[in-house]
Amino acid sequence: MRRALSCLLRGDQIMATEIDYYQLLEVERGADEAALKAAYRRLAMKFHPDRNPGDAAAEQKFKAINEAYDVLKDPQKRAAYDRFGHAAFQQGGGGFGGGAQDFGGFADIFESVFGEFMGGGGRGQRRGGPARGSDLRYDLEMTLDEAFHGRQASLTIDVAATCEPCSGSGAKPGTSARACTTCNGNGRVAMRQGLFMVERACPACHGQGQIIADPCNSCSGAGRIEKQKTLNVNIPRGVDDGTRIRVAGEGEAGARGGPPGDLYIFVNLKKHHIFQRDGTALFSMAPMSITSAALGGEIMVPGLDGEKTIIKIPAGTQTGKQFRVRGRGMPSLNGGGFGDLVIQVEVETPVKLTARQRELLEEFRTIETAEGGRNTPKSQGFFDKLKGVWSELTE
C-alpha cells in the first residue's frame, strides 16, 4: 500500500502512521504549484540524509515528503487525493494502482530537485561535444512602397564561420582532438563541498570534453573564424513593421562542428509621407476646399501600386467623413488578397481671400442668416442649446 509516513521515535522503534500530504509539506490545501515546489525544496533540504547521517527518522520523513510532492504536483493525482484521500492510491481506489513508490537513490532525488541550482542537465549527460551556433539578428529598414511590392535585399553581416582548413574541428588538418582524461569526455567534474557534491566545468578542458593537442593554425583551435559574408534574401510583399523573417542556417557556425544557428531579420518600416498603415489597411487624410465639400466633387489618390484611385465626394460632406475603397490597401503577407484604402476628408477653410471672394462669402452669410441657418443644422442646433442654457442661468 502506498502511504505517506510520519515517523515517531520510541526508543529504537519507528512507528509509521498516515498523515495528510498537505500537512507533510506544510502548505494550505489550495496552494499553487509554486508554493508546493518552494515548500518541497525547503523540507527536502532540511531532511536530506546527507544532512542527517544516521538519522532514520529524517530518512523516513524525506521519503514521505517526496511521496507527497509526487502526488500533489500531478493535477490528476492531486484531484484524486483531494476526493478520496490515501484510499485513491490503494488497490481499487482511484485508478492509480497500489504498491510502494520506488524513489531510487537519494542522490538521484536530490539532483532532480536541486539540479537547476547546480548546473543541472541530468546524470551522465555529456557536457562537451558539438554545440549549436548562436542565432543572429539583422534590422532591415524598408519603405512602405518596398513592403507593398516586396524586394530582394542584399545583407552584409559579420559572422563566426566554420574554419575551412580544419572543417570546424579546431585541430590541425591530419590530426584530431582526443577525449579529456580528467573528466572522461563529459566536460564536468564532481567536487565535494561540505555535505554536497557539486559539478563544475572541467579545469583541464574548460568544459569542452576534448583536448586539442595540435590546434589549427588558421583558427587557433577555436574551429571558427570571424568573417564578413553577403546574403541575398527575398523579402515577401506585405511585411509589416516588426515582421520577423527566419533564414535557417545563416547564423553563427556551431562550435566543434556543431550545426549553425539561424539569422532573424526584423523589418522596420519608414514613415510614409501620405499613408499610414494599420495591418493591411491604408489610411490617408485628404484636404478638400469648402466649396467642393459643399457642392460635391472628386478626390484623386495615387495608390502604392501606381494606379490612381478616384473617389466621388457627395455634396454636403463634412470634415472627418471617411470613404473606403475595397482592395486598394496593402497585400496580405500570407497571400490572402489586399486590404482597404481609407480616405478621410478634411474640409479646409480658405485663407488670404481676394476682395471678390470676401464679397461673395459676405453675401452668402447674409442669406444664410436670413434663412435661419438651414444650411448648417449642427451649428444652429448648438447655438439653440446655448440659448437654453443661458435662459436657465438668468431665471
Residue with cell 523516513: 60
DSSP-derived 3-state class of residue 293: helix
Amino acid, res. 187: G
Strands (E), 109-238: 136-142, 151-162, 178-179, 188-193, 196-201, 210-211, 224-235
R_g of the chain computed on alpha carbons: 38
The pLDDT, as a whole number, for residue 234 is 93
Task: Assess whether 84 and 157 both reside in one domain.
Answer: no
* C-alpha cell belonging to residue 178: 582526443
Instruction: Determine the Cα–Cα distance for residues 358 and 365; give it in Å rounded to an integer.
Output: 10
* 374 assigned to some structural domain: yes
- CA dist 190 and 324 (Å) reads 70
Cα(114)–Cα(97) distance, rounded to whole angstroms? 29
Is the domain of 260 the same as that of 303?
Answer: no
Residues 83, 10 share a domain: yes
| 88, 117, 146 - which closes a domain | 117
Residue 57 included in any domain:
yes
Same domain, 26 and 89: yes
Task: Indicate if 140 and 93 belong to the same structural domain.
Answer: no
Residue 203 lies in a domain: no
Q: Phi and psi (nearest 5°) for 191?
A: -135, 145
62 three-class SS: helix
User: Is residue 255 one of the residues assigned to a domain?
Assistant: yes
Which residues, including other chains, have CB under 8 Å from residue 57's CB and lie 6 or more apart? 7, 9, 14
**175: its cell numbers:** 590530426
Question: Of 67, 68, 25, which Cα lies nearest the Cα of 43?
Answer: 25
Q: Rounded distance, CA 50 to CA 27, Å?
A: 25
Backbone angles phi, psi at 198, to 5 degrees: -120, 155
* Structural domains counted in the chain: 4
Distance from C-alpha of 164 to C-alpha of 125, rounded to nearest angstrom:
30
Is residue 290 assigned to a domain?
Answer: yes
Residue 62 CA, chain-centre distance (Å), reads 39
72: containing domain: 6-117
Kindly report the pTM of this predicted structure. 0.57
Q: Provide CB contacts within 8 A for 323, sequence distance 6+.
A: 299, 311, 313, 342, 343, 344, 345
Q: What is the CATH number of the domain that holds 35?
A: 1.10.287.110
- 142 in the same domain as 68: no
Q: Are residues 259 and 286 in the same domain?
A: no
Q: What are the per-10-residue average pLDDT scores of the chain (395 residues)?
A: 37 48 89 87 84 84 87 84 74 41 40 42 48 90 94 91 87 87 84 73 82 86 87 93 92 84 94 92 92 90 87 92 93 88 92 92 86 65 56 56
Asked whether residue 160 falls in the same domain as residue 228, the answer is yes
Q: Which residue has the cell 575551412?
A: 164
Which residue in 60, 53, 52, 75 sits closest to 24, CA to CA? 60
| CB 92 within 8 Å of CB 86 | no
| CA distance to 31, 64, 66, 162, 376, per residue, from 43 (Å) | 16, 11, 9, 49, 80
- Is 105 part of any domain? yes
The answer to whether residue 378 is domain-embedded is: yes
What single letter denotes the amino acid at residue 233? V
Instruction: Kindly report the CATH number assigned to the domain that includes residue 143.
Output: 2.60.260.20
The span from the CA of 331 to the CA of 239, in Å, is 9
Measured CA to CA, the distance from residue 58 to residue 5 in angstroms comes to 11
Quickly count: other Cβ atoms within 10 Å of residue 313's Cβ.
Answer: 19
SS3 call for 336: coil
Q: Taking the CB of residue 366, how many other CB atoms lie within 10 A of it?
A: 10
Q: How far is it, in rounded angstroms, from Cα 253 to Cα 322?
A: 53
Asked if 90 and 18 touch (Cβ cutoff 8 Å), the reply is: no
Q: Are 71 and 21 in contact (CB under 8 A)?
A: yes
Q: Are 254 and 235 in contact (CB under 8 A)?
A: no
- Statement to judge: residues 61 and 164 lie in one domain: no
Phi and psi at residue 140, to the nearest 5°: -110, 120
Phi, psi of 384 (to 5 degrees): -65, -40
Sign of CA dihedral 286, 290, 294, 299: negative
First-to-last alpha carbon distance for the chain, in angstroms, is 91
Residues 20 and 45 in one domain: yes
Domain membership flag for residue 104 = yes
- DSSP at 90: S
